[in-house]
Structure 1
Amino acid sequence: MFGINDIPKFFLAFFLVLPIISFVHEAGHVFFAWLMGGKNIKVTIGSGKVLFRLGILEVRKYYFWYGLCTFDNLRRNERIANILIFSGGALFNAIAAGAVIYLVEHQVLEAGILTYQFTYFSLYYVFFALLPMPYPDGNDSDGKVILDLIRNKAGVKTYRVQWSQEKKQWCVLDHDRNLIKAFDHEKEALDKAQEEAQQNRPSRLLNSKSGKETEVQNYPKVPL
């Protein structure tokens, strides 16, 4: 039963152990995103106002709550690459928990509240990350994204920038080739198309400037 003596343990888990586990989880996503050629990789730990940035790491005011990894333009954007990226967080949590258990059993680390909480909450992270379910904010768990990828139901949207001879303008088209907006300059059209594609991940941006469609950028679904 939870008692008064357990309150310090709760704060230890909430303000120290969980943020470390969250960082390990995001590191797993980052590793495979980097391995698959991802660009503009960024890791966010916490929510609220930004406290500081260090390289690809961004730590926010409520550092003990929430974690996110974003990246663009995978060089290897096949299903298996995305499955590895979304599995990476849970995999790193499982490896970290297994390593701590091994070190405790071999008396390299001393068994205590920190090792217990780290192992317990790491496995907690693994379970809930891989449980295939939608979240209230509209995102999906890693497990649901992986399941959709296995079933080939990723639903990647394609946005296009295309020159219209009739309009004499650069047109931004949605996935169904409906006109979103037309511009006099190609750069303006590309900027608008990138904005639309980023807001509707997973997506691809194609340009037909050369007479054939070439991929400008892709925006994979964001791991949590």
Structure 2
Amino acid sequence: MTEFLALFLAAALSVLTHELGHAFFQKLFGVPVTTIRWGMGPVLFRIGVLEVRGLLLGGAVTPAGPKLTTSRWKGVVIALGGIIAQWFAVWILAATKLYAVPMTQVFCQAFMFFSFLALTQLIPLKHWDGYYALQSLLGKYKRQNFSTDLPTI
């Protein structure tokens, strides 16, 4: 039972890390963030711009304004910000060697696994991070959510 809980927690925190990565780079480049959705389904509660929803296995970041950014490379970095944040978190887990602590092994291994799965977001399919990165690079991207209500894992 504790392994299942660690697995679910790792998946949920992987999604949150991913969405916060998008939001971090939006803020860094001066793009206001309207909403950070963590999960799918009905909204359970809000904390500032963060909406926590019923099932914590999906998410989205909603930028404000008609156009995300005027710079192509900034749009690419924002689109890839979720994966960048997840891999930064993996690096922290590896650097601190938390994966070697018996109580956190399952969580760390699952978080790293979900971060590997997040690399599929680089595939340029519509509503995936790779699609938005490619559209930004080509100068065709206007405004959409960087994620959908589909799981990012």
CA deviation string 1:97-152 (max 9, x = no partner): 11111211xx7962511111111212221x12112223xxxxx2101221222233
One-letter identity of the residue aligned with 2:101: E
CA deviation string 1:69-104 (max 9, x = no partner): 001136842211211110100000111111111211
Match of 2:28 among 35, 53, 77: 35
CA deviation string 1:154-201 (max 9, x = no partner): 2x5xxxxxxxxxxxxxxxxxxxxxxxxxxxxxxxxxxxxxxxxxxxxx
Structure ranking higher in helix proportion: 2
Is the alpha carbon distance of 1:48 and 1:133 closer, same or farther for their aligned partners in structure 2, counting shifts above 3 Å?
A: same
Cα RMSD for the two superposed structures: 2.2
1:42 offset after TM fit, Å? 1.3
2:61 corresponds to:
69
Match of 1:110 among 87, 96, 101: 101
1:9 offset after TM fit, Å? 2.9
* Secondary structure, counterpart of 1:38 in structure 2: coil
1:67 offset after TM fit, Å? 0.6
Is the alpha carbon distance of 1:75 and 1:11 closer, same or farther for their aligned partners in structure 2, counting shifts above 3 Å?
A: closer
Unpaired runs of 5+ in structure 1?
1-6, 135-139, 157-201, 203-219
Task: Determine if the alignment matches structure 1 residue 9 to structure 2 residue 3.
Answer: yes
| TM-score of the aligned structures, taking structure 1 as reference length | 0.58
1:147 corresponds to:
134
CA distance in 1, matches of 2:27, 2:123: 25
Which protein is bigger by CA-based radius of gyration? 1
Match of 1:222 among 142, 145, 149: 145
Identity between Structure 1 and Structure 2 (%):
26
1:60 corresponds to:
53
Is the alpha carbon distance of 1:110 and 1:28 closer, same or farther for their aligned partners in structure 2, counting shifts above 3 Å?
A: same
Unpaired runs of 5+ in structure 2?
148-153
CA distance in 1, matches of 2:16, 2:116: 14
| TM-score of the aligned structures, taking structure 2 as reference length | 0.82
* Secondary structure, counterpart of 1:145 in structure 2: helix
CA distance in 2, matches of 1:93, 1:120: 11
Contact 2:7 2:106 in 1 (8 A): no
Contact 1:97 1:123 in 2 (8 A): no
Query: How many residues are paired up?
Result: 144
CA deviation string 1:37-93 (max 9, x = no partner): 122431001111110000111001122x21100011368422112111101000001
